[in-house]
Chain A
Amino acid sequence: MNVFRLAGDMTHLLSIIILLLKIRATKSCTGISLKTQELYVIVFLTRYLDLFTKYISFYNTTMKLVFLGTSISIVWYMRYHKVVKQTYNKDQDTFRHYFLAIPCFLLALLIHHEFTVIEVLWTFSIYLEAVAILPQLVLLQRSRNIDNLTGNYVFLLGAYRALYLVNWVYRYFTENHLVRWIPWLSGLVQTTLYADFFYYYIKSWKNNEKLQLPA
């Protein structure tokens, strides 16, 4: 494992910790899209099926279990916690899951490395992860008031895939020119979706202003 990959994983983990911290400490999930969080549960469930079939390392297994556990608990808080669920912006979080999930699944059926259940579901999870942030970005654009924790959460979540992109370039040159089109292109799409958000996040940080996305 190289330093970019590790930095990417740590950024991803930190983003989730910040989100859980926000939910637990402030008992509020304002500005967080339940749609996006549910899509992440689907992403992790379909990607980590290999937990049962293949052992890579202690680190790998632990991180997979942490991502599964935390994403499920975030959804649980937002749907069922009696205080937190009342702060959910249901009326603004209107993006439909299946607009993203169905095309991703069809694409995974068409474009994959190997036609097996595990491989197609893994590919589906890669495609779905690339676009799962869309409901969250739409919700942010509708929110007049984005709190710091939510802003930092989305920033770190975007930064994680950008660091993975650097990791893939590094691996290409250090590991026998390993070519992996599916995650590369999906990761590129995923990072590009954040470009606009990154721009306003950095701008508000430099000018010491409150983050607000133009409608």
Chain B
Amino acid sequence: PEEKATKDEL
């Protein structure tokens, strides 16, 4: 599965 580049973490 494609990795979603959610950058809402620290």
Contact = CB atoms under 8 A, between A and B. Distances in A.
User: Are the chains A and B members of one assembly?
Assistant: yes
Interface of A: 5, 9, 12, 50, 54, 56-57, 60, 63-64, 67, 113-114, 119, 122, 164, 177-183
A58 to B, nearest CB: 13
A9 B1 CA distance: 27
Interface string B1-10: 1111111111
A179 B3 contact: yes
Specify which of B2, B3, B10 lies most central, judged by the most chain A CB atoms within 10 Å of its CB. B10
Nearest to A164: B9
Specify which of B2, B3, B4 lies most central, judged by the most chain A CB atoms within 10 Å of its CB. B3
Interface of B: 1-10
Contact of B5 (A57, A64, A113, A177): A113
Contact of B6 (A63, A177, A180): A180
Contacts of A56: 7-8
25 contacts: A5-B9, A9-B10, A12-B10, A50-B7, A56-B7, A56-B8, A60-B8, A60-B10, A64-B10, A67-B10, A113-B3, A113-B5, A114-B5, A119-B5, A122-B7, A164-B9, A177-B1, A179-B1, A179-B2, A179-B3, A179-B4, A180-B6, A181-B3, A182-B3, A183-B9
A14 to B, nearest CB: 14
Nearest to A60: B8
Would you list the 7 A-B pairs with minimal beta carbon distance, nearest first?
A: A179-B1, A113-B3, A56-B8, A180-B3, A113-B5, A63-B10, A178-B4
Contact of B4 (A57, A119, A122, A180): A180
Given A5-B9, A12-B10, A177-B1, 5 more contacts: A56-B7, A113-B5, A179-B2, A179-B3, A180-B6
